[in-house]
Structure 1
């Protein structure tokens, strides 16, 4: 563990140890705005904003929060898609001394109520069309103030006039909120607000910047406590990793939602820290994305496998110029080797797989973008100042190279713990090590490989089967667009392997075709016994396929069948 074999693989440009200073996150916005006030910070659907304008808007929001009585460590929720208001709110909350609670705009009332109650948020900023949903749950929570904004507020003319009609057609409602009592319009605040600079004392290592809730795929979501140092450290690691990028000159495509920690760090915080231009899209639509890439010419494109797959399978992909894309790090889910190769061929840029989790701010490992041959299927090596190891699941002792166990990590980006959940914190943080719940192994050079989630491993007839291995094989079939493999209940084997498949448009396959294909590369016990063809797969907002939702669906079917036959 102390030898860190991966360090000998580092290119000379990447430092193995970094200085993280002690500046809180919001200080970087002030620094960038003072250094390059006229540099474009945000491009949003045809309208731009400079760093000077972004900083002034943020100050107005921070001053308004202060005047309302928001105090240090008060939690304030942001329930917005990627848009300029989300960036203004994020840094304004931090300037006022608050803790950001990122909230998925797609949350149902039940999910929203749970998160607001659990975090104890005193205020929330949201879209006009989401205002009714927030109002319905407000009385169940500690929320005192609701800030309201609208997509049209940051659209150029004439889009800002047309958008309300599009919104009404799409959602069937028009919401009008007055700036009065405890309802606050962001447009009013930014038109009339003060730009007085002030500082709130921040303990860089101990004070929280963010409560980032886990996806809740294994129970109720937990609030991950991330400090200013956690987030600054992870972004400085990212900057070190991307050593060919130039301060103030990169254009970053912001499709990954900022309410997901990966999008927040690799697009928003990195851009603010480095003075890059963010091109924001409120949701992923393949056609809009391709048009945006051709027009805005982004150089950096952090994403998730489903995003790259969606673009590669667009019927008119060849019509668009994607050659501006230089570097992409894929996160949130395993990156199929075929997807990586095809995307690099189309763009001429580099696409590599990284690894991390919410609890580590989020990145701990990545492949090298330049000057190194990538190892097929590897998540890469640990980032600077990050330790990683493979521990035995039996006795939590380190395992030698190529033996499968649980991936554990340690570093300055690892969370402080779970919000108000000390027992659950103790289950995953032990002696400074974060137990990831992922199974994997390390090779002799220090490259790590994820075999699968500990909870996702399939045990069929006594054999351990890793869904990722089966998925990699099926992704090699030219007719498959997306696939996920899960263990479903089986009365004889305990569990059996089932593949859920989305075919490329206009393609046809049978179970027999896939069975024949899989048997060429997999041992008989690993070959799926069941196939289900679907038009789409359930996903999180960041594009991670919800394997657990499919397993739960199978269990419900089995229970219904048992009741029917009883």
Structure 2
């Protein structure tokens, strides 16, 4: 039988995102509370300022560009405190927001603009050249590319979003009402392991449900003072707002709960430490590579990070070794959560009080969902046995844009989403995610999860970072695990050092998990902006190495 959430069901109102955030009667904090704060400029937005700016921007969209329900506004920018007001201004006008990675090339951005059918594009001045070229390619007029943030176009050719807000004669415009269960709020693009990113269609109800589900899961236990609350907690936000994790867990959750979000445009280890110390940050949503840096990087010693009550890790599997390494060094507890773009995103989170009792678990199923683990032949497996996680709930997406075939493959007839993630649950209802279905290494019929091996290797004193992939061994006619390692300073990169780490590792794992593919030392591990290891890049490297070896024979 599928697992039901152990949380009591919650009431999900029939409202769009605007109604949830700005028209509710039970807001627990005053309108003049600062919600978004820029530590570099000290610029900020209170709740009231976000609301009025969003309304003005929404009216400007309707007046200037005849904005219609369902029109798509693309956002091509690093984190910025203007993002929330622009997002909800787009929603006020009935639009759909499609955030894009500011690291995209012209080709990559043009693909998303064309695929989403974007009618306009918002960016920042450092990215204007790429934005303009991509817009030109897909037929978005130059006057529909505008900028946000602190920079301005000195020539005046590119409008700032504040000028869109300040158009006269907009009083007659009213908010566009949305059907929460049908109308899209976001088109986020999920990078697949192959091919172009997929447009994930998220409705207003998906996001409304997930905000309320996450709030229920983060309410916590009194001995931990509960989860982050509106009575002084400050959350450091560096996870990208263009990714669903930052979009829901940071932008939406902060305004709904009344948390102050201290916004970094992108992660930098020293800036992170400096801001925590100077602004007395109490909480942060992070990814495993950040936990690794905090537990190993020498710069951390220079700063006082004692204000942090806890951090929550997501986006990729977090191992027991990393949790213990961070707590041992800084006494900062780490709890874990889990979710996907297709689930808006959060489906599971560890209760605050359970962080050290269920290390390695992604937590419990949030309310209003059911889940089950399925075998390769799509039969449900019992608790304790490994399978692919399938999830059903009001947070599950509507489908992939312009891709009915992939949608049909991902969603079952009875509404379950096939996550592609492998794991199990224990008898107490704690869920564990060990790897992606496609990333499991198949060694002579045994399944080897790369994340498990990475967790062990990361605890080695001479390893700064690591990724494990499967490489095909012709002699044994099977995949074997190979580790790509960023060595700690002072460690040689020769055969002797590799052999020492392999022997240390092989003593800690079962026979089928040994590093039969050897070790390669590298300068850095390729990762996505959300912290996921880009194994496909390493597989290309491995292929080239194999070709070079064959060429010498």
Between stretches 125-134 and 474-483, larger displacement belongs to 474-483
The alignment status of 1:326 with 2:309, answered yes or no, reads yes
- 1:148 is aligned to 146
- 2:133 is aligned to 136
Give ranges in structure 1 of 5+ residues lacking alignment. 8-14, 154-163, 165-174
The alignment status of 1:229 with 2:205, answered yes or no, reads yes
Offset from partner CA, 1:281-324 (integer Å, 9 cap, x none) = 00111111101011122222111011222233332323322222
Between stretches 86-95 and 192-201, larger displacement belongs to 192-201
TM-score with structure 1 length normalisation? 0.88
- 1:239 is aligned to 215
The alignment status of 1:522 with 2:509, answered yes or no, reads yes
Between stretches 194-203 and 20-29, larger displacement belongs to 194-203
- State the 4+ residue runs in structure 1 displaced beyond 6 angstroms: 32-35
CA gap of 1:27–1:488, structure 2 versus 1, over 3 A, is: same
- 2:89 is aligned to 92
Q: CA RMSD in A?
A: 2.4
Offset from partner CA, 1:454-473 (integer Å, 9 cap, x none) = 11111233432221222222
Between stretches 533-542 and 23-32, larger displacement belongs to 23-32
Deviation at 1:358, TM superposition (A): 0.9
Match of 1:502 among 486, 495, 516: 486
State the alpha-carbon separation in 1 of the partners of residues 512 and 198 from structure 2.
36
State the alpha-carbon separation in 2 of the partners of residues 442 and 206 from structure 1.
33
- 1:343 is aligned to 326
- 2:179 is aligned to 203
SS in structure 1 at match of 2:82: helix
The answer to whether the 8 A contact 2:486-2:524 is kept is yes
Question: Map of 1:459-474 to 2, 5 A cutoff?
Answer: 459-474=442-457
Question: Map of 1:542-553 to 2, 5 A cutoff?
Answer: 542-553=530-541
The answer to whether the 8 A contact 2:470-2:482 is kept is yes
Offset from partner CA, 1:382-435 (integer Å, 9 cap, x none) = 1111211111111x1211122222111111111111011111001010021111
State the alpha-carbon separation in 1 of the partners of residues 45 and 532 from structure 2.
31
The alignment status of 1:186 with 2:161, answered yes or no, reads yes
- How many residues were matched structurally? 533
CA gap of 1:561–1:118, structure 2 versus 1, over 3 A, is: farther
Deviation at 1:223, TM superposition (A): 0.5
The answer to whether the 8 A contact 1:76-1:93 is kept is yes
The answer to whether the 8 A contact 1:212-1:358 is kept is yes
State the alpha-carbon separation in 1 of the partners of residues 418 and 336 from structure 2.
20
The answer to whether the 8 A contact 2:283-2:308 is kept is yes
Give ranges in structure 2 of 5+ residues lacking alignment. 220-225
TM-score with structure 2 length normalisation? 0.90
State the alpha-carbon separation in 2 of the partners of residues 64 and 494 from structure 1.
61
The answer to whether the 8 A contact 2:29-2:230 is kept is no
CA gap of 1:57–1:456, structure 2 versus 1, over 3 A, is: same
State the alpha-carbon separation in 1 of the partners of residues 81 and 234 from structure 2.
16
Question: Map of 1:63-462 to 2, 5 A cutoff?
Answer: 63-67=59-63, 68-144=65-141, 145-149=143-147, 151-153=149-151, 176=154, 178-179=156-157, 183-190=158-165, 196=171, 198-243=174-219, 244=226, 245-247=228-230, 249-370=232-353, 374-394=357-377, 396-430=378-412, 431-462=414-445
State the alpha-carbon separation in 2 of the partners of residues 193 and 337 from structure 1.
58
Offset from partner CA, 1:495-515 (integer Å, 9 cap, x none) = 221101123334457111111
The answer to whether the 8 A contact 1:128-1:177 is kept is no
The alignment status of 1:482 with 2:465, answered yes or no, reads yes
State the alpha-carbon separation in 2 of the partners of residues 307 and 555 from structure 1.
29
SS in structure 2 at match of 1:139: helix
- 2:30 is aligned to 36
The answer to whether the 8 A contact 1:304-1:330 is kept is yes
CA gap of 1:34–1:135, structure 2 versus 1, over 3 A, is: farther
Match of 2:11 among 19, 23, 39: 19
